[in-house]
C-alpha cells in the first residue's frame, strides 16, 4: 500500500523516475539468486550485448553499475580524465549545474559556458574555444543531451562536427540520462566517447542501474587517467568480463531481470518506434500548453524536448502550488521548478513506457489544477488540442497490425 494512500493509481508524470510497466514488475518479483551461478553471468552477457543497441553502438563497451545517474557521471569523468585536466562544460539548467559541481569537486579545470535557463548549449562559444585551442589543452567536452530542469535538448551532431572540423582530439562525454532510449541518440555516428543513462528514466525501471558506455578511445584514455576511482573503476569490470563472470561486486538480481524484460519490450516495439512515440507525446504536450495560453520554458523550437516539457506560469501564480495541488487533490505527480526557475515553472514528464491516453489523463488533470489555482484556462482546451494531434498522427500499435 502507498505510504500516503490515494484511491486508484497515482498518475506519475515527473521526468523520472517513471511508470514501471506490469511485465517489468512481474519480472522483478523474484527471490535472490547466487550471482556467481552460471545463470546470472549468462543473462548478464546478453544484457551487455543488448544495452549497446539503445546507445546505437557496435564498438562501445557498456558497464552496468549499481548506482544512479550521479554515479554514472563520476564513472565517466574519473575513468577518462586526470585532476587538473581542462574540460569545457555547458551550464543550461539544474542538472548540468550539478554535473559541473561534481567536475569541480573532482579537481578538474572546468571551463564553464553558461546560457540562460531555457536556452541550449552555446555551441558558437564552443567553436571559438576549440578553434583557439591549437595546443589541445582541452581534454574533454561535457554536455547534457537533455536538460530535464528546463526541457532543453542539445544538438550533439553539431558538437561532433565542430570537433572534427578542427581535428580536435578532446573526448566527447554525454549525459543521456533523460534522452537515451527515448530521443534520437547515435553514439557511433556522433563520435560520443562516453554516454550514460539511468534505469529509472526511459527504460522504465526502478532507480539503481547507471549504464555507462565507453568508446575504444575512452577505454584507451582510462589507461592513463589518474583520477582516483575504486567502486567506479572500469578496469575491475573488464577483468571480470574476461573471466566470464562479469561482476566485480554484487548486482541487484531483481533489477537485472527487470532490465531484461524492459529491453525486450523496447525491442518488441522497435527502438525507432519508441523514439517516434516520444516525439508524438512531446508535440502533443506542447500543443496543449499553447492551447492553455501558457509558454514553454524552452526558448526556441530547435531545443524542445520530447521527454519533458517545462511550463512557465504567470507571475501571480506559484508553480509549486500547482504541483502540491495536483498531488493532494488529483493524485497527479508533476515536476517542480528547480533552482533559478523554482516557483516559475512546473514540468510534465512524458517519457518511458507511456501511451497517448495516459498523457491525455495527465493533461486533463493539469487543466483542473490550473483552474484551481486561479488561472483562466478553458477546460478541455489542451486535451482537445492533444487529442486532435494524436488522432491524426498515432499509428497502429506495431505488434497488433
Cell of 306: 520530447
Annotated binding residue 347: yes
CB 267 within 8 A of CB 53: yes
Which pairing describes strands 345-349 and 295-296: parallel, antiparallel, or unpaired?
Answer: unpaired
Q: Quote the CA–CA distance of 224 and 25 in Å, as a whole number.
A: 42
Task: Tell me the residue length of the chain.
Answer: 401
Q: Determine if the peptide bond prior to 17 is cis (ω within 30°).
A: yes
Task: Point out the annotated binding site.
Answer: 347
Binding residue numbers for substrate? 347
Amino acid at each position: 500500500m502507498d505510504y500516503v494512500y490515494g484511491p486508484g493509481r497515482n498518475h506519475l508524470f515527473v521526468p523520472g523516475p517513471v511508470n514501471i510497466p506490469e511485465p517489468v514488475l512481474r519480472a522483478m518479483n523474484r527471490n535472490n539468486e547466487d550471482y556467481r551461478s552460471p545463470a546470472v553471468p549468462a543473462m548478464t552477457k546478453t544484457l551487455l550485448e543488448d544495452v549497446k543497441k539503445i546507445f546505437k553502438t557496435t564498438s562501445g563497451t557498456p558497464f552496468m553499475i549499481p548506482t544512479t545517474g550521479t554515479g554514472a557521471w563520476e564513472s565517466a569523468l574519473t575513468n577518462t580524465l586526470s585532476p587538473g585536466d581542462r574540460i569545457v562544460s555547458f551550464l543550461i539548467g539544474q542538472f548540468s549545474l550539478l554535473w559541473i559541481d561534481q567536475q569541480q569537486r573532482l579537481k578538474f579545470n572546468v571551463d564553464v559556458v553558461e546560457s540562460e535557463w531555457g536556452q541550449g548549449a552555446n555551441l558558437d562559444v564552443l567553436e571559438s574555444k576549440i578553434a583557439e585551442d591549437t595546443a589541445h589543452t582541452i581534454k574533454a567536452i561535457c554536455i547534457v543531451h537533455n536538460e530535464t530542469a528546463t526541457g532543453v535538448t542539445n544538438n550533439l551532431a553539431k558538437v561532433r562536427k565542430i570537433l572534427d572540423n578542427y581535428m580536435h582530439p578532446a573526448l566527447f562525454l554525454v549525459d543521456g540520462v533523460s534522452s537515451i532510449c527515448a530521443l534520437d541518440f547515435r553514439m557511433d555516428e556522433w563520435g560520443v566517447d562516453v554516454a550514460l543513462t539511468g534505469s529509472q528514466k526511459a527504460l522504465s525501471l526502478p532507480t539503481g542501474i547507471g549504464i555507462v558506455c565507453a568508446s575504444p578511445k575512452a577505454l584507451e584514455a582510462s589507461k592513463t587517467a589518474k583520477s582516483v576511482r575504486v567502486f567506479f573503476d572500469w578496469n575491475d569490470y573488464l577483468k571480470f568480463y574476461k573471466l566470464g563472470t562479469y561482476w566485480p561486486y554484487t548486482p541487484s538480481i531483481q533489477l537485472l531481470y527487470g532490465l531484461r524484460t524492459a529491453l525486450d519490450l523496447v525491442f518488441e516495439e522497435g527502438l525507432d518506434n519508441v523514439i517516434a512515440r516520444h516525439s508524438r507525446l512531446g508535440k502533443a504536450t506542447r500543443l496543449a500548453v499553447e492551447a492553455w495560453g501558457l509558454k514553454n520554458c524552452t526558448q526556441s523550437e530547435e531545443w524542445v524536448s520530447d521527454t519533458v516539457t517545462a511550463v512557465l506560469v504567470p507571475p501571480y501564480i506559484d508553480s509549486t502550488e500547482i504541483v502540491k495541488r495536483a498531488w493532494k487533490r488529483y493524485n497527479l505527480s508533476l515536476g517542480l521548478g528547480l533552482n533559478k526557475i523554482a516557483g516559475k515553472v512546473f514540468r510534465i514528464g512524458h517519457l518511458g513506457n507511456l501511451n497517448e491516453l495516459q498523457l491525455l489523463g495527465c493533461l486533463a488533470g493539469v487543466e483542473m489544477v490550473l483552474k484551481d489555482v486561479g488561472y483562466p484556462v478553458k477546460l478541455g482546451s489542451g486535451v482537445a488540442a492533444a487529442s486532435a494531434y494524436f488522432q491524426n498522427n498515432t499509428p497502429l500499435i506495431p505488434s497488433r497490425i
